[in-house]
Structure 1
Amino acid sequence: MEESKTLTNLMAAFAGESQANRKYTAYAKKAQADGNLNAAKLFRAAADAETLHALKEFEIAGKIKSTAENLKDAVGGETHEYTEMYPAFITDAKAEGRNDAIRTFTFAMKAEEVHAKLYKEALDNLSQTEEVFYYLCPVCGNIEKAVPEKCTICGVPGTEFIKY
């Protein structure tokens, strides 16, 4: 699809809807923790609605390709994040003395490196038919192919990992 105003708008809408999803998910967690169950449900419903919008915009923008192309794109994105984006963010956070951000960016950077390797592995084994399970650390976003004793990035017990 050629670059057009509509394509530019689709991608801007996709970015906005994607951010709204995450924002409303965070608001839902806070509302739940505060005991505001109705607000939490509304935020979760709205987050899911924003996801529906984002997915349709991304689709009609022509951004969903073959699985192999999508895996290559994912490898590239994750690699950029752990080699360029997060190291720069960590440098800035250090300069500002933001230890909370340094920790968050470091966890994300290390997890993104794992994600890139897993995407590359999936690409290399695309014809594999044996089912693979993945386990997500709910704290740092690390993904493992087996439940670890503890997360290799943040130390969370493996019993906390979420199975996919």
Structure 2
Amino acid sequence: MDENKTIKNLMEAFAGESQANRKYLAYSRKAEKEGKLNAAKLFKAASDAETLHALKHFEVAGKVAATADNLKDAVAGETHEYTEMYPDFVKIAEAEGNKAALTSFTYAMKAEEVHAKLYQEALENLDETNEIFYYLCPVCGNIEKARPDKCSICGTPGEKFIEY
């Protein structure tokens, strides 16, 4: 048995299950807005099931390391997104005149930069025992360590932020 092929397959399955999770969550939200509550609940349950599959595949592939290593990986991934991936996506969306995609990519790019800094800060303070709360903007994905008056990226009112 080719273990490298199995790891590759686990990662492909992880990617597919992760995408299905988000797709079904989007479908659930749409069905809920349309008042189709049974379909919404089914999509949400399936979304959660896909999450279970994805997490198990990722774990079995040996991709979950010590927290410090996971934080380093997160810093690298977020940094790649805001310095390389999203700037290219923004340029293309601008050139094509796709304002909705431009906004989506710009919000994500700015939020990913914040995420990278927060991961780096968490890495540097890994042994900190005082509890920290994080606040998520439900529109652009920005994360703050204190509830803001409004989101610094998209302007969403701070009272809409979700506390973690």
TM range (shorter): over 0.9
Match of 1:70 in 2: 70
Matches within 5 A, 1:25-104: 25-104=25-104
Cα deviation, residue 70, structure 1: 0.1
Which amino acid is the alignment partner of residue 71 of structure 1? L
C-alpha distance in 2 between matches for 1:46 and 1:104: 26
Cα deviation, residue 95, structure 1: 1.2
Cα deviation, residue 141, structure 1: 0.1
TM-score (norm 2): 0.98
C-alpha distance in 2 between matches for 1:51 and 1:100: 28
C-alpha distance in 1 between matches for 2:5 and 2:104: 36
Match of 1:160 in 2: 160
- The answer on 1:131 being equivalent to 2:104 is no
C-alpha distance in 2 between matches for 1:90 and 1:3: 39
Cα deviation, residue 3, structure 1: 6.4
C-alpha distance in 1 between matches for 2:90 and 2:151: 21
Q: Secondary structure at the match of 2:26?
A: helix
- Alpha-carbon RMSD across the aligned residues, in angstroms, is 0.9
Which amino acid is the alignment partner of residue 89 of structure 2? F
| Moved segments of 4+, more than 2 Å | none
In structure 2, the CA distance between the partners of 1:3 and 1:88, relative to structure 1 (3 Å rule), is farther
In structure 2, the CA distance between the partners of 1:73 and 1:3, relative to structure 1 (3 Å rule), is farther
Gaps of 5+ in 2: none
Gaps of 5+ in 1: none
In structure 2, the CA distance between the partners of 1:27 and 1:146, relative to structure 1 (3 Å rule), is same
Cα deviations across residues 25-66 of structure 1 (Å, max 9, x unaligned)?
000000000000000000000000000000000000000000
Which amino acid is the alignment partner of residue 76 of structure 2? G
Which amino acid is the alignment partner of residue 144 of structure 2? E
C-alpha distance in 2 between matches for 1:3 and 1:69: 23
